Chains A and B, each alone.
Chain A
Amino acid sequence: MSSTIIIKNLTKRFGKTIAVNGVNLTIEPGAFLTLLGPSGCGKTTLLRCVAGLEDPDGGEIYVGDKLVFSYPKGISLSPGKRELGMVFQNYALWPHMKVDKNITFALEIQKMGKEEMQKRVKDSLAEVKMEGYEDRYPREMSGGQQQRIALARMLAYRPKVFLMDEPLSNLDARLRMDMRAELKRLHFSSGATTIYVTHDQVEALTMSSSIAIMRDGVIQQMDTPDRIYHFPANLFIADFIGNPKVNLLDGVIDGKGSVNLGDFNLQIDIHNAFGSVVIAMRPEDITISTIQVPGSVEFSAYSVLPAGSETTIVAKRGNIELNVKEMGISKFKMDDKIWLNFDPDTLNLYDKETGNIIANI
């Protein structure tokens, strides 16, 4: 039922700016791929190219075993012939049609029988828990309800591929949480290959089977959420993923595993690198204590930011500033003396010049 999507060397320009720059992607059947990146990185353009709403300036796209777009061969199937469904950021429900008409629109084009259509409407509404809303106009529903109808509209014609363009970004924070769970469940039960565009890293991390991080039209890293979070391929990704932000410190490594960070050193199990590097450490990987323990470094608590289940402490030493995350409400007060302990296994090292990760060989 689901399809593989293969994107080869895809390029899309708008005038002089290159929105998508030679992207290669293979998406396995049934995968949930999230295109993640800051605004203007080309993720939405890439999605629209797959949908056929933009005409790329180079490359090829396969959906299933069908070549839907090929620049070298001069082929471009219209969106309707690509057998995919799409959910738009602002839902794009037709305001002059009631819910049932919105849902049957595509089915009528496929010349489906009346009874089958009614059944599809019922089923798809049931899937998104919106039974009995057939007679509503879009404006008579809340944003969250419209969102569900937009999903039902896509589900009803059972496309083999789901395309979703920031579908949750117009919802409030609470509703977004609920819908994440629902969407993940829908993907699970339908098994359709899904491409999901978002700039929200939490959405990406929680829902995807894999994440492709984009920047300036180029895919920086495509990997599982776990690997994206723990082994960001470069400084841009390390900096982009994680909240509170990752700590990045400039240092010099001597080739024997010792990194000098100004007035203190850290021992790291990397022996194949030397020179200027950047150390990345996640705030939750730094342990904090009130007393000096072996290997710890003295800092002072610059600011303490409790948030219920966790507390972020901004620690300062000279001009080094670090975010440290502690579970629960912290006992520290501002300007307290604190000692930080760094676990060498959780640190990532980056080449200062290229910004790429230095692998541990």
Chain B
Amino acid sequence: MSISALSRKVSSLGLPASLRRFISWLTSAKVILSLIMLVLMFYLVLVPLYRMVATTITYQDKDLFRVPDAQVGALTLFHYARMFLSNMAKPYLYNPFQHSVIISIGATILALVIGGMLAWLCIRTDMPGRIIITQLAVLPYIMPGWTIAQAWTVLFKSRITGGIPGVFEYFVGQSPPAWLSYGPVPIIISSALHYYTFFFLFITAALMSIDSSLEEAGDLMGANRSRILRKITFPLVMPAILSGIIMTFSKVMGTYGGPALLGVPVKYYTVSTMIRSAIGIGDKADAFVLAITLILFSMVLISINQKVVGTRRSYETIGGRGFMANKTKLKKWKGLLFGIVIVFQILVIVLPVGLLLSDTFMLRSGVYSLDNLTLHNWIGESVKTINNGSPGVLRNPKIYFYAWNTIKLSIWTALFTALLGVILGYVIVKGRGTRLSKLVEQLAFIPYVIPGIAFGAIYISMFSRQFGPIPPLYGTFALLVVVSVAKHIPYSSRTGVSSMLQVGRELEEAAQVAGANLWKRFKTIIFPLTSSGFVSGFLLTFITTMRELSLIILLVTPTTMVLATQTMRYKENGDDQLANAVIIILIVMITIGNFIIGKFRGGSLKKGLGM
């Protein structure tokens, strides 16, 4: 029985009017969709969060060894006391937190400087080659976030930390200083070189949208250039900078790859690597205390940002038309600056990939002689003495399986994310002003404030047993899809809302008046008109999911492994060259994917970031 038939039937029954009104409200298409979305958000976000908190405040099996009279499942603040107050607090919580904050602040500042300067050069000066520079600036973000970190180890491995010398040591003949090989400095640099894209995109968009008349007005009133920059331009760009700061900071706080590759070998733990190791030794509750602390920390930061910037809309309003102010003439610096920028970009993109690639062709890492060249890491048979007996990656059926997993995960995630984006956009925009719509919008925003590794941690506790109608998902491939889709909800709902706003409500209402039901309206009006948003949302989720690591590192099992997690596994086993070969495969796949994006009109990274 269709819903309208149902509501007709209901209205013919002798029910009281208030109940009939409630039922007709409940069965209206908009409300049904909103409720479905609410239930979905409830399952994807609130329930896992609740389960995680619940784990931290009850005794777990493992606690029986620590607390003699503990009863499994009984309420306790034991884990919080242990992580915050006991003598474990310093090495397990405070130190990692301090490290994470140092890294995040450092990476954010460095990324801001790089991204801001590039943006200014591209938008506000007459530097040549601005288009190619703009295109290249996006590439580091598309590559796996730990690419530079991994290449860094190839370059700066040193005997000080044990193991074989890196390229630097081979050519210079001297070990690089310890602070350069591992620890905060390389983590900061490698993260900043990945995340500066945020600042670049945010600031370029803000600079481009500043109506030149605003600055000209200041000019006419006799303000000089620096005054205009300080009093007019900078305040207008400020919200974009703040948004970039928060986004980068919270991403770095929750990032796993860099700290795992460059921190763990010298016992420089961050919150993310500590969470992983706590999970690894079975101390789930401890890991969750760390994750909750991390989540609260991010929430506070983001709410401060929103207080300062105003509402989230305030930076949407900047994204608009308006062009174009007088560009600064670089004169004789033109060529030099262009050269510096291009060399920098090549260093950031080509050098890491080159280092990783060259390393895969060596029998022994870091020995640059012809007889050391080999294809073993790619196509070699399994030999016990090399790579712990693993065959070359192209001869390893598991790698093909993981590559296929990677593609499968990306396609499913992208599909569900894009679909959810359209529906969420519809529900939020159509219900503007109602409490239901506001609730959906707020719930959809929650995953944004939860750093990647913590979000993955949440899902360990969720779905490990049957919950309601949902079967236990732990260890299944479906769980990876679910967590990836859930993490993308804030972005997809934002893209959905903005593409829905472009459609204009009258277009749908005209169809409504003409007698079209919800399905017909979606099929003939809403989907066709939001298809470009759908396609770009799909493609970009596809790319970003391919290289997702922090989110799923805690959730993969041998049968659900993807390429990203396999590089980490090889690294952990000390098979560096195989790890490098796998990341090269991943980069090739991403490059192909990115090429396909370029073929589609309307697909842009900016849209995928929900700008």
Contact = CB atoms under 8 A, between A and B. Distances in A.
B308 interface: no
B74 interface: no
Given A74-B17, A80-B513, A81-B515, A92 B520 contact: no
B514 A105 contact: yes
Chain A interface extent, by class: 20 to 34
A302 B305 CA distance: 57
B524 interface: yes
Interface in B43-91: none
A103 to B, nearest CB: 10
B20 interface: yes
B506 A105 contact: no
A96 B529 contact: yes
Interface string B528-570: 1100000000000000000000000000000000000000000
A75 B516 contact: no
B260 to A, nearest CB: 48
A74 B513 contact: no
Interface stretch (A82-90, A202-210, A219-227): A82-90
A14 interface: yes
Nearest to A80: B515
Interface string A37-76: 0000000000000011101000000000000000111111
Contacts of B589: none
B11 interface: yes
B25 A55 contact: yes
B515 A73 contact: no
**Chain A CB within 10 Å, residue with most, of B19, B21, B515:** B515
B515 A53 contact: no
What DSSP secondary structure best describes chain A's contact surface? loop
A110 B15 CA distance: 31
Given A55-B25, A94-B507, A105-B516, 11 more contacts: A51-B513, A74-B11, A74-B19, A79-B509, A79-B512, A86-B509, A92-B506, A94-B510, A96-B529, A105-B511, A106-B514
Interface in A1-33: 14-15
Contacts, number: 82
Contacts of A53: 509, 512-513
A109 interface: yes
A94 B515 CA distance: 15
A86 B513 contact: yes
Contacts of A244: none
A89 B506 contact: yes
Contacts of B224: none
B4 interface: yes
A157 B17 CA distance: 33
A55 B31 CA distance: 13
A267 interface: no
A187 B355 CA distance: 77
B20 A74 contact: yes
Contact of A96 (B15, B520, B528): B528
Given A80-B516, A88-B510, A109-B514, A94 B504 contact: no
B317 interface: no
A95 interface: yes
A81 B24 CA distance: 15
A14 B510 contact: no
Contact of A92 (B19, B25, B507): B507
